[in-house]
C-alpha cells in the first residue's frame, strides 16, 4: 500500500516536470525569437524603407515636372504628349541625382515624366525604373481656379468639402448633372512668336517677307558672254611701193602709197604710208542677279487660363472668358 502511493506520487512528479520543461521552452522561444523570425522581421522593415525611398523619388520627379511643364512647354493638340527623361531632367538641373534602396542610380532613360493633352486639362505620368523596383503614377494637372501658379495638380472635394489632391493612378470622370452648380471657363491669351528657324538655301525665286517670314537678299554679277568693241584707233604704217616710170624719155623713180591710206598717192621722194585703223577689244558681259533666302517663325496662342465659377458668370464673360461646357 505504501509502495503504490509512492509510485503515484513519483508519476505525478514526472508529469509536473514535463509540463514545466514545455512551459520553459515556450518562454525561451517567446523571449528569444528564432533566426528565421529575425530574418523575416529585418526583410519586412527593409521592404518598407525601400518603398518609402521609391515613393519619395517618384514625388521628387513629379514636383520637378510641375515646375517645368507650363505655358509653351505643354502640348497644344488633344492627344499629343511631351516627354522628359530623367537624364534630361538632370541635365536641365530640375532636380539633383538620387539613388534607390540599393544605393544605385535609377535608369536615366527608362525613367521619365510625360504630359498628355486632354480636352480641358492634362494627364501627367511619372515612371521610375530602379534596381529594386519599377512603377509609375498617373495624375491630372491644369490651370484650375485654386492654382497659385500657371499649372498645378488637380484636386477633388472630400466629404467635408476640403480640397484633396487626386491620388496616383486614380481615374476621374466628370459628368454634367442637373445638380451641377459650377461651370468651367477658359480664356486664351498671351500669344507669342517662336524664335526664327534656320535660314533656307539661296534661290533666284523671288520671295516676299511677312510677319512670320524674314527675308535676306544679295546681288551678284553673273557673266553672260563676251562682246567685241572698238576702243579708239591706231596708225598703221608701211613703206611705199617703188615704181620706175619714163617721163620725157627719161626714167624716173616714184614712190606710191595705196589709195585707201591717209596719204595715198605718188611721191617723187620717199614717204611713209600711213593708214588710220580702228582698235578692237573683247570684253565680258555681265548682268545683276538677285538671290533670296528666308527663315520662318510660328505664332503660338496656347496660353489658356481656366477658372471655375457659377454658370453664366457675367464678370468672367466680360473679362474674355468663355464656357468650355464642363460642369461640376
Beta bridge partners of 307: 185
Do β-strands 81-85 and 112-117 pair in parallel, antiparallel, or remain unpaired?
antiparallel
- The whole-angstrom separation of Cα 97 and Cα 91 is 10
Tell me, what's the pLDDT at 80? 87
Tell me, what's the pLDDT at 33? 56
Q: Which residue in 146, 143, 153 sits closest to 187, CA to CA?
A: 143
pLDDT digits (tens, 9 = 90+) for 214-241: 999 999 999 989 999 998 999 999 999 9
CA atoms within 13 A on the CB side of 56: 11
C-alpha distances in angstroms, 169 versus 101, 125, 299?
23, 9, 35
pLDDT along the chain (328 residues), means of 10: 54 76 75 56 57 89 86 82 91 87 89 90 92 90 77 66 45 38 75 83 91 91 90 92 86 91 90 93 92 88 73 79 78
Q: Which residue in 171, 60, 75, 49 sits closest to 126, CA to CA?
A: 60
Tell me, what's the pLDDT at 215? 93
Q: Which residue in 78, 161, 178 sits closest to 119, CA to CA?
A: 78
Question: What one-character DSSP code corresponds to residue 121?
Answer: S
- pTM value? 0.40
User: What's the Rg (C-alpha) of the chain?
Assistant: 51
Q: Is the dihedral of CA 89, 92, 95, 97 positive or negative?
A: positive
Tell me, what's the pLDDT at 107? 92
- The whole-angstrom separation of Cα 291 and Cα 279 is 38
Tell me, what's the pLDDT at 9? 59
CA atoms within 13 A on the CB side of 296: 6
Tell me, what's the pLDDT at 191? 66
Sequence length of the chain is 328
Tell me, what's the pLDDT at 260? 92
**247: CB partners within 8 A, 6+ apart:** none
Question: What one-character DSSP code corresponds to residue 132?
Answer: S
- The whole-angstrom separation of Cα 261 and Cα 272 is 10
C-alpha distances in angstroms, 193 versus 187, 196, 302?
19, 9, 11
Amino acid at each position: 500500500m505504501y509502495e503504490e502511493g509512492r509510485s503515484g506520487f513519483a508519476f505525478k512528479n514526472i508529469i509536473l516536470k514535463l509540463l514545466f520543461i514545455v512551459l520553459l521552452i515556450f518562454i525561451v522561444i517567446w523571449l528569444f525569437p528564432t533566426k528565421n523570425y529575425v530574418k523575416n522581421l529585418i526583410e519586412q522593415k527593409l521592404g518598407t524603407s525601400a518603398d518609402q525611398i521609391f515613393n519619395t523619388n517618384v514625388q521628387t520627379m513629379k514636383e520637378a515636372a510641375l515646375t517645368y511643364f507650363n505655358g509653351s512647354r505643354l502640348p497644344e493638340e488633344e492627344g499629343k504628349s511631351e516627354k522628359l527623361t530623367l537624364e534630361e531632367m538632370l541635365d536641365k538641373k530640375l532636380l539633383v541625382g538620387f539613388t534607390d534602396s540599393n544605393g544605385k542610380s535609377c535608369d536615366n532613360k527608362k525613367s521619365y515624366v510625360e504630359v498628355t493633352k486632354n480636352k480641358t486639362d492634362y494627364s501627367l505620368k511619372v515612371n521610375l525604373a530602379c534596381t529594386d523596383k519599377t512603377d509609375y503614377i498617373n495624375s491630372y494637372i491644369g490651370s484650375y481656379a485654386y492654382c497659385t501658379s500657371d499649372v498645378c495638380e488637380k484636386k477633388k472635394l472630400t466629404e467635408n468639402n476640403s480640397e484633396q489632391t487626386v491620388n496616383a493612378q486614380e481615374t476621374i470622370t466628370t459628368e454634367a448633372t442637373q445638380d451641377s452648380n459650377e461651370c468651367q471657363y477658359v480664356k486664351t491669351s498671351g500669344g507669342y512668336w517662336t524664335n526664327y528657324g534656320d535660314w533656307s538655301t539661296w534661290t533666284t525665286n523671288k520671295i516676299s517677307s511677312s510677319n512670320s517670314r524674314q527675308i535676306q537678299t544679295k546681288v551678284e554679277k553673273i557673266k553672260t558672254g563676251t562682246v567685241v568693241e572698238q576702243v579708239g584707233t591706231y596708225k598703221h604704217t608701211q613703206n611705199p611701193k617703188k615704181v620706175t616710170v619714163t617721163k620725157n624719155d627719161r626714167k624716173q623713180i616714184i614712190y606710191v602709197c595705196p589709195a585707201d591710206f591717209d596719204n595715198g598717192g605718188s611721191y617723187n621722194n620717199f614717204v611713209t604710208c600711213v593708214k588710220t585703223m580702228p582698235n578692237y577689244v573683247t570684253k565680258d558681259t555681265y548682268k545683276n542677279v538677285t538671290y533670296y533666302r528666308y527663315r520662318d517663325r510660328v505664332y503660338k496662342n496656347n496660353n489658356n487660363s481656366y477658372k471655375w465659377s457659377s454658370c453664366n458668370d457675367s464678370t468672367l464673360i466680360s473679362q474674355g472668358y468663355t464656357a468650355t461646357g464642363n460642369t461640376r
